[in-house]
Amino acid sequence: MPKSRPPYPPEFRRQRVELVHAGRTPEELAREFEPTAQAIRNWVRQADRDTGRRDDGLTSSEREEIRAMATGGEAVAPGAGDPGKSRGRVRSGDRRDFLEAFEFVKVNQAAYPMATMGRLLEVSPSGDSRVVPS
């Protein structure tokens, strides 16, 4: 398994997005800088959603809103890790009621993509809260 690295700073990502919008290709930028062409394409896609150029997914603020609802509005410090990784085996008191998550998905299925909500809320489409889609 490859070692993970800290996320690129927002300013670094913004500059790469601007270079793509100015006519450079993600492949050129990947050869010149460290991130992969796919990472740069992902940043461009998300930036386009955030500015209204695309409407095929959630904006960053919508993602944060869903994340906040999933954690009960609790702020998670950057770099604090993924509190849900234990999947309730060690820290069972930290996991919100799965029925709340399924109810949220049911109420908001017209507004947000089901797969995205399932991934962010850590519930599966089958209704089995122990199986999280990858």
**Residue 103: pLDDT over 90:** no
pLDDT class for 91, splitting at 50, 70, 90?
very low
Q: Of the given ranges (21-35, 50-64, 84-98), which has the lowest mean pLDDT?
A: 84-98
Q: Report the alpha-carbon distance of residue 72 to residue 2 in Å, rounded.
A: 32
Q: Residue 105 belongs to what H/E stretch? A: helix 98-108
**Residue 122: pLDDT over 90:** no
The reported pTM is 0.54
Region 77-89: mean pLDDT is 53
Looking up tokens 């869903």 gives 66
Give the tokens for residue 12. 């670094």
* Number of neighbouring beta carbons within 10 Å of residue 12: 14
pLDDT confidence of residue 90: 45
Region 16-41: mean pLDDT is 94
- 8 touches 35 (CB < 8 A): yes
Q: Report the alpha-carbon distance of residue 16 to residue 126 in Å, rounded.
A: 38
